[in-house]
Amino acid sequence: MRREAVSGAKPRWLAAQACRAVLDRGQALDEAFASVLGEVEDGRDRSLVRRLANGVMRDWPALDFLVRELLERPMKAGDRIVFFLLAVAVHELRDGREPEHAVVHAAVAAAAGVRGGRLRGLVNAVLRNFLRRRDALEAMVAEDPARSRGYPRWLIDRIETDWPAEAGSILAAGNRVPPLWLRVNRRRWSREQALDVLTRAGFRAHLPDGFADAVMLDERVRVSKLPGIAEGALSVQDGAAQLVVDELELADGQRVLDACAAPGGKSAHILERAEVELTALDIDGERLKRVGENLERLGCNAKLKVGNAAEPGTWWDGRLFDRVLVDAPCSATGVIRRHPDVRWLRRPSDVEALVAAQRAMLDALWPLLKPGGILVYATCSVLVVENAGQVQSFLERHADARVIEHTELPGRSTGPGRQLLPGDEDCDGFFSLAARRLQ
């Protein structure tokens, strides 16, 4: 039995490969998808690979435990891919979307290329054993918080410490598939016009309150099929990230810096809002190319600069900015529902390094702001040390900074700054602070 001969075998094999790339090799899931999806032409199979791999990321502690429990002896290192194939299949059996016999059959076929197919019997036996012992095994999963919640223990502890009353909802939100938010390019049409076009094209959508440029789809669809996407009239961007431009208080003629610009969504939104002189800065030249490509699709222009935001002497021309956006590198703990691999790629030591980098950026960029100008600091994190803690320390170091409250925008006050937790307004987790430099 060849893998290609059984319907669904290949997508499950590729999903296992993507999971192994993340969990054994530390590769980002998007990069893993870029490697494996080239082998799939059918759009439904590509979607299946993504769905299965994302599902394993959200449920890895339970799946790792279950597969180990079901195996009579540890799997040899050379057969490691079969461990992930079993994890994909057990996830799918627990998910219940497909008939059990079809899942088992496809997984067995997917193992055909390993050791000449000699592990197909093992795959079949393990999965059927899971189905027989399912209730008892699930009870064992429920006994351990990391297994039942799908997060590393250290991250559960941090979230429970920072958000004791909200921790359960934060963790649950991170395991839900996010909705599809769209940003309307107001230079092309209003969001009411965009909604009308989407509705007439057969897409169910609505206009969420409090988000000036947002349309939310009521169901997930293939983005390329949406009217206006190819022409730059619509872009994919979560609602929380869209609020940054409101805090910048943009006006025509301003000189604006987007200090960590890649992949370019916020740069584009800035240029859609006002006729400004924008410098889009990023430390990664390859990622900065994506910014240029995104802006070109939207018909926008910016000055692209490769450089470290914490070292302005290497890229700054000496002219002060009216507005500075510091969309800082962070733990990304607010976008775990969108990037479930983040929970397995981050380590506690990473957070400490990120906090130090954020602090250096803020201190280096604040002097580049004109008196009366506005700096907005933003992260897609839920960790206090990166958010309210970081900006409180910044304000203590810079007596010439005054917080601008934006109580009209969605989000909860955290002292200095505004926080959206994952699931608030159906958004990603996101933090921001706007500060004006005194005259």
CA distance 94 to 100: 9
Q: Which residues of 112-142 are buried (b: 16+ CB within 10 A; e: fewer)?
A: bebeeeebbebbeebbeebeeeeeebeeebe
Tokens 């839920």, residue located = 382
DSSP 13: H
- The SS3 call for residue 195 is helix
E-assigned strands of 21-161?
none
CA distance 398 to 389: 15
The residue length of the chain stands at: 439
Q: How many CA atoms lie within 13 A of 433 on its CB side?
A: 25
CA distance 16 to 19: 5
**Backbone torsions φ then ψ of 383, nearest 5 degrees:** -85, 125
- Establish whether 380 is a catalytic residue: yes
Torsional class of 209: left (φ above 0), alpha (ψ -120 to 50), beta (otherwise)? beta
Long-range contacts (CB closer than 8 Å, 24 or more residues apart) made by 65-72: 65/140, 65/141, 65/144, 65/147, 66/90, 66/130, 66/137, 66/141, 67/126, 69/137, 69/140, 70/126, 70/129, 70/130, 70/133, 70/137, 71/126
Active site residues: 380
